[in-house]
Chains A and B, each alone.
Chain A
Amino acid sequence: MAKCPECDAEVTVGGDAVKGEIVPCPDCGAELEVTETKPLALALAPEAEEDWGE
């Protein structure tokens, strides 16, 4: 479990979460990036840039 950096809610992720995975905060909906799994650490995912996409 870790705190959402946006709204301070407690966020849990699945046991199969990997570093770099994107998860939504269940409270505020912010996109969070798993920066560490043990222990769990979360950061706000980067905002989309102009050349993002397929």
Chain B
Amino acid sequence: MNSPTVGVLLSRVRVEEKLLLEELESRHVPTKVLDDRELILELEQKPDIGVDVVLERCIQHSRALYALWVFGIWGIPTVNTFEVADICGNKLLTTMRLIRDGVPSPRTRVAFTPESALVAAEELGYPVVMKPLVGSWGRLISKVNDREAAEAVLEHKDVLGTYMHSIYYVQEYVPKPGRDIRAFVVGDETIAAIYRYSDHWITNTARGGKATKCVVTPELNDVCVRAARAVGGGVVAIDVLEGAEGLLVNEVNYTMEFRNSIDTTGVNIPAKVIDFVLATAAR
């Protein structure tokens, strides 16, 4: 069988995109780079864009979301799907899917006014974490230690400008042993995991957290695969907290960054991703 042509939708070629493109090239897979800055989607008819499957690697959530929606309507298989991007791009939608499917996650409250958000924080008990519904790399995530800090953060959110900051997502703070877990799920398997260490309570490697290998135990694999399925499945990175009662899924990321995890885990993550993309095209 001839290899399908893989479209790689991207905004810029970061380390991850370069590794994925190199993996495709090493297998002689026909590849077409779709730069989202140049993309024009003719909505009235499906144009022949010359790809059999699209691997989405946009840096901007909004572009990824709408492009995936259109590709899906056109019947072009995508990794990931619009559904997965839509759910993972929004912390409230993600949390509700995790709860629906019985995947353990931190206790969370959503409120629509600063006053009710303050009540929610008091009910959860300090410290709490306040997060924007949309956003990543740990930006604008606040650990709120007491009522006065809560009032300050809520007042700031109120004037941030976009309405999304006025949907208040308030979560219990889960004490970390100086680390959390980032696990990579491809299809039905947790292919690799790292510990992210940091002296700061935000352990994101994009914020300077240090990575070491984490052994994928049956428990970790189970909770991560269930989290991946809850958001629709595909290629996702799961952020896991080690709570006193067991593992808790904190977030699910759909355009995963893995540059710090290949050497650390010894797993060829881009190869696993491309395996999945080619399998998706063949379905």
B-binding residues in A (CB < 8 A): 18-22, 33-34, 45-46, 49-54
Contacts and interface: CB of A to CB of B under 8 A. Distances in A.
A49 B59 CA distance: 10
B13 interface: yes
A11 to B, nearest CB: 16
B18 A53 contact: no
Nearest to A34: B13
Contacts of B33: 20
Nearest to A20: B13
A19 B12 CA distance: 8
Given A20-B35, A49-B60, A54 B14 contact: no
A52 B137 contact: yes
Contacts of B253: 54
Contacts of A19: 13
Nearest to A33: B12
Interface of B: 10-14, 17-18, 21, 33, 35, 59-62, 89, 134-137, 139, 162, 206, 237, 253-257
A22 B13 contact: yes
A7 B27 CA distance: 40
B18 A21 contact: yes
Contact of B60 (A22, A45, A51): A51
B136 A52 contact: yes
B13 A53 contact: no
Nearest to B164: A50
Given A18-B21, A20-B33, A20-B35, A51 B13 contact: no
Given A18-B18, A21-B18, A54 B256 contact: yes
A18 B21 CA distance: 10
A54 B10 contact: no
A11 B255 CA distance: 30
Given A18-B18, A20-B35, A21-B18, A52 B59 contact: yes
B62 A51 contact: yes
A53 B137 CA distance: 6
A52 to B, nearest CB: 5
A51 B135 contact: yes
Contact of B135 (A22, A46, A53): A53
A1 B11 CA distance: 23
Nearest to A21: B13
Contact of B136 (A18, A22, A34, A54): A54
A34 B35 CA distance: 13
Nearest to B256: A54
Given A18-B18, A20-B33, A20-B35, A51 B61 contact: yes
Given A20-B13, A21-B18, A54 B35 contact: no
B200 to A, nearest CB: 18
Contacts of A21: 12-13, 18
A18 to B, nearest CB: 6
A54 B18 contact: no
B263 to A, nearest CB: 19
A35 B12 CA distance: 10
